[in-house]
């Protein structure tokens, strides 16, 4: 009976361990919060209301996006999950989508304050600000639970602003992040305070038409319209235009405080297509009204709409009327955005997050891995071959899904496939997987197929973890230095293909090293020959792409910064990869390293690739400042250590190989000694002795 390859068993064991650890981590994320009663939960939003509000457009991070995208990342930043699961009485639960949560926050803040949305990794961080944490060390908390310590959190954040990030402890970073999330949350909570509370007219107000309202609380829109007509405001405007500095008129400070609280959600598009990027929040409506700006004609009506929504939201009896008003409000915002010419890509933006293609690809690759594992049970049988073919086809479908997600992002942003660190992950995963699948079509021995599927699952898992950890929109506006589609499609893609191929060559070499551990004498010569050919060939591809990408980067640098080479850490990392590939290939061609040496050097080259891809972003120096990342140093050091451990295993293989050869040599019988012919014997058969 033919023995199954060793490497599938190793990878299967690693996959099982990884899945168990992943599921156990998900289990630890369950919240231990008190169930909410029916009166503590807001009424369920109607589907048509949520569907409409998800399609509302707003500007954020320098681009126009859907409200669904904005709410998704706001919730992800706080909760580390893009949904809210509310525990209810009776053991039931209710799950809120990002927009449902967002609408509860701005329209029903008292109810939303009970939702456990703030993720706390270590309860010791709460002890430092005087709060009594839950029994669990890692749990989620509501705003109502954290609000008593808000002043302490903000004071700690102010103090930590003076401390460099690398010198902050783990608890310091958690406190800083928690305080920042609270500030962003309060921006949403207080967004409609002006509409809910109105404004109090000071006693003895001197000017009409507000003089008759002195001492009363009136709607903000009414006070604003009257304030603009007051003599004090008109005199203030005239003096400001003349360059004089008069004291602000009464009520000015109250209006100014409203401007600060209502500047967080820019969902009012410009009234014309002349300035498609001039979106404003309610604060912009107020400024435009007072200064006769572009939105002056519609400002009061829009502010009155928000006041009406705030009034209806506070009356549970009028829930149906309130939701109908929200539906009309959202439809109006969509029409305004469409008429301004700023709505073209909002549907694509919302659809991208809704489709969640990278997550589907991740779970698809895990399923393919299980199918391939079943085929190993009887690889030569009919169903084994069928499962292998299904896994191969599924691999191409999985990578086509990743490609679709990448192109979807290109259509949304209008730029190249790689504009930030996050986008390098799916792209490098795609390139490595496609190369491995084509190697499978050449050799057809399942090893390359294993590599392709494992790369797909690991890459998509890494992309998801990075997005959850960064908790920010993965498609922000580009910094000025990157705004060149030509170089984004040439230099950036080429250099990342170089990363992908160098890492893929290292993976084949690591597989070779582990296989040699279980087959020191290389009995399975076809397997080792395939791994050597794969690693060597892919490394050659890696050298070409890395070299071309580095040269193209120098040309771009000369155009952007006026120099071809500046010894920037990112440039140095790319150069090190090129030099290492050249050194390995030359040593192999010169015969200085044999088969095992080639794999040891190729495997060690993964460290240089990781350094150039990720580690230079931790140095906080250089002109490539668009790629900085934080909090990855420990993970990178662990990756370096694992690669070095594999290389050390290669030394063990060499030692065991030498010992095996010695043992094999000592066990063989000694060859017979040659028999010396007599002096007078003929040298040639049948010939005479010449002596």
Measured CA angle at 423 (ends 421, 426), to 5 deg: 125
| Cβ partners under 8 Å of residue 352, min gap 6 | 405, 408, 409, 412
Q: Please name the residue that has the structure tokens 């990794």.
A: 121
| pLDDT at residue 588, as a whole number | 94
Instruction: Note the pTM of the prediction, 2 decimals.
Output: 0.86
Both tokens assigned to 282: 């309610």
How far apart CA 588 and CA 100 sit, in angstroms, is: 61
Cβ neighbours of residue 489 under 8 Å, at least 6 residues apart? 416, 417
Angle 426-430-431 (CA atoms, 0-180°, nearest 5)? 120
Whether residue 3 is predicted with pLDDT greater than 50 in this model: the reply is no
pLDDT at 24: 47
| pLDDT tens per residue, range 456-504 | 999 999 999 999 888 888 998 887 777 788 989 999 999 999 999 999 9
Token couple for 683: 């040298």
What is the reported pLDDT for 569?
A: 86
Report d(CA 603, CA 334) in Å as an integer.
Answer: 54
pLDDT in tens, 423-439: 999 999 999 999 999 99
Residue 230 CB-density burial (10 A; 0-12 exposed, 13-18 middle, 19+ buried): buried
> Is it true that the peptide bond before 13 is cis, omega within 30 degrees of 0?
no
- The single residue listed with the structure tokens 């915002």 is 333
> CA–CA separation, 66 vs 643, rounded Å?
43
Domain boundaries defined on the chain: 31-191, 195-339, 356-473, 496-663
Question: Do residues 288 and 299 lie in contact, with contact meaning Cβ atoms separated by under 8 Å?
Answer: yes
Task: Convert the pLDDT of each residue in 245-279 to its tens digit.
Answer: 777 777 888 888 888 778 778 889 988 766 655 78
Q: CA torsion sign, 506 to 512 to 516 to 522?
A: negative
Q: Which pLDDT tens digit goes with each residue over 525-534? A: 888 999 999 9
The answer to whether residues 372 and 387 touch, using CB atoms and an 8 Å cutoff, is: yes
Q: What's the mean pLDDT in 21-34?
A: 48
Residue length, the chain? 691
- pLDDT value at position 560? 82
Assess contact for 409 and 417: CB atoms under 8 A. Answer: yes
What does the alpha-carbon distance between residue 447 and residue 555 come to, in Å, rounded to a whole number? 39
The SS3 call for residue 208 is coil
Q: Where are the alpha helices (DSSP H) in 562-590?
A: 569-590
Beta bridge partners of 60: 63
- The answer to whether the beta carbons of residues 270 and 246 sit under 8 Å apart is no
- Which structure tokens are listed for 508? 């084949």
* Cα–Cα distance measured from residue 88 to residue 65, given in angstroms and rounded to the nearest whole number: 33
The predicted pLDDT at position 29 comes to 40
H-helix or E-strand spanning residue 142? strand 139-142
Residues 6 or more apart whose CB falls under 8 angstroms from that of 591 comprise none
How does pLDDT run across 103-135, given as a tens digit for each residue?
999 999 999 999 999 999 889 999 999 999 998
pLDDT at 339 over 70: yes
Cα distance between residue 170 and residue 167, in whole Å: 10
Query: CA 676 to CA 424: how far, in whole Å?
Result: 74
CA 311 vs CA 59, 193, 305, 316: distances in Å: 26, 11, 10, 11
Using alpha carbons, list the distances in angstroms from residue 303 to 276, 374, 404, 418: 22, 63, 42, 41
CA distance 42 to 657: 70
Cα separation of 510 and 455, whole Å?
Answer: 14
The residues near 371 (Cβ < 8 Å, ≥ 6 apart) are 387, 390, 391, 394
- Around 438, how many Cα atoms within 13 Å sit in the side-chain half-sphere? 9
CA distance 290 to 233: 9
Flag whether pLDDT at 79 surpasses 80. Answer: no
| Residue 661 clears pLDDT 80, i.e. is over it | no
C-alpha dihedral sign at 483, 488, 491, 495: positive
In angstroms, the CA 414 to CA 226 distance is 45
**Is residue 144 within 8 Å of residue 114, measured between CB atoms?**
yes
Mean pLDDT of 392-405: 96
């Amino acid at each position: 009976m033919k023995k199954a390859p060793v490497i599938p068993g190793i990878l299967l064991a690693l996959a099982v361990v990884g899945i168990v650890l992943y599921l156990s981590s998900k289990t630890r994320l369950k919240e231990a919060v008190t169930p909410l009663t029916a009166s503590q939960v807001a009424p369920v939003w109607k589907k048509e209301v949520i569907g409409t509000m998800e399609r509302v457009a707003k500007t954020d991070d320098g681009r126009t996006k859907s409200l669904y995208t904005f709410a998704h990342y706001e919730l992800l930043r706080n909760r580390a999950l893009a949904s809210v699961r509310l525990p209810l009485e009776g053991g039931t639960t209710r799950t809120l989508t990002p927009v449902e949560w967002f609408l509860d926050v701005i329209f029903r803040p008292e109810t939303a304050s009970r939702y456990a949305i703030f993720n706390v990794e270590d309860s010791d961080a709460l002890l430092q600000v005087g709060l009594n944490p839950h029994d669990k060390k890692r749990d989620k908390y509501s705003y109502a639970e954290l609000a008593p310590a808000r002043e302490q959190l903000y004071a700690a954040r102010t103090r930590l602003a003076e401390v460099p990030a690398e010198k902050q402890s783990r608890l310091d970073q958690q406190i800083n992040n928690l305080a920042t999330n609270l500030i962003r949350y309060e921006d949403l909570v207080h967004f409609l305070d002006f509409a809910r509370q109105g404004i109090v007219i000071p006693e003895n107000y001197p000017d009409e038409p507000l003089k008759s309202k002195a001492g009363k609380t009136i709607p903000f829109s009414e006070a604003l319209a009257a304030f603009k007509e007051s003599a004090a405001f008109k005199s203030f405007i005239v003096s400001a235009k003349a360059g004089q500095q008069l004291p602000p008129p009464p009520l000015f400070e109250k209006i100014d405080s409203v401007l600060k609280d209502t500047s967080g959600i820019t969902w009012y598009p410009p009234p014309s297509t002349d300035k498609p990027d001039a979106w404003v929040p309610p604060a912009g409506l107020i400024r435009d009204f007072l200064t006769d700006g572009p939105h002056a004609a519609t400002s009061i009506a829009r502010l009155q709409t928000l006041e009406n929504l705030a009034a209806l939201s506070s009356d549970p009896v009028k829930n149906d009327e309130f939701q109908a008003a929200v539906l009309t409000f959202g439809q109006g915002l969509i029409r305004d955005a469409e008429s301004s010419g700023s709505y073209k890509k909002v549907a694509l933006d919302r659809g991208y997050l809704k489709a969640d293609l990278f997550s589907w690809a991740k779970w698809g690759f895990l399923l393919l891995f299980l199918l391939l594992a079943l085929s190993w049970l009887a690889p030569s049988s009919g169903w084994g071959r069928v499962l292998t073919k299904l896994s191969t086809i599924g691999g191409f479908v999985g990578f086509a899904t990743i490609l679709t997600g990448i192109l979807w992002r290109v259509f949304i942003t209008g730029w190249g496939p790689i504009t930030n660190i996050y986008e390098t992950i799916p792209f490098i995963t795609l390139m490595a997987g496609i190369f491995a699948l084509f190697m499978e079509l050449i050799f057809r021995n399942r090893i390359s197929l294993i590599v392709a599927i494992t790369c797909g699952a690991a890459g998509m898992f890494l992309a998801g973890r990075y997005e959850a950890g960064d908790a920010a929109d993965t498609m922000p506006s580009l910094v000025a230095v990157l705004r060149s589609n030509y170089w984004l499609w040439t230099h950036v893609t080429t250099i990342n293909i170089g990363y992908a191929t160098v890492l893929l060559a290292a993976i084949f070499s690591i597989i070779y090293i582990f296989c040699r551990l279980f087959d020191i004498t290389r009995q399975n010569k076809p397997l080792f020959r395939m791994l050597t050919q794969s690693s060597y060939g892919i490394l050659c591809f890696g050298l070409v792409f890395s070299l071309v990408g580095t040269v193209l980067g120098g040309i771009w640098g000369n155009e952007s910064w006026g120099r071809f080479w500046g010894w920037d850490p990112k440039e140095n990392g790319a150069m090190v990869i090129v030099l290492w590939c050249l050194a390995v290939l030359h040593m192999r061609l010169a015969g200085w390293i044999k088969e095992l040496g080639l794999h040891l050097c190729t495997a060690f080259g993964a460290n240089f690739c990781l350094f150039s891809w990720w580690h230079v972003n931790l140095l906080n120096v250089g002109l490539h400042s668009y790629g900085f990342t934080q909090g990855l140093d420990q993970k990178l050091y662990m990756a370096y250590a694992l690669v070095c451990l594999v290389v050390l295993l290669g030394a063990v293989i060499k030692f065991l190989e030498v010992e095996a050869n010695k043992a094999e040599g000592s066990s063989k019988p000694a060859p017979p000694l040659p028999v010396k012919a007599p002096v007078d014997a003929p040298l040639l058969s049948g010939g005479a002795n010449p002596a």
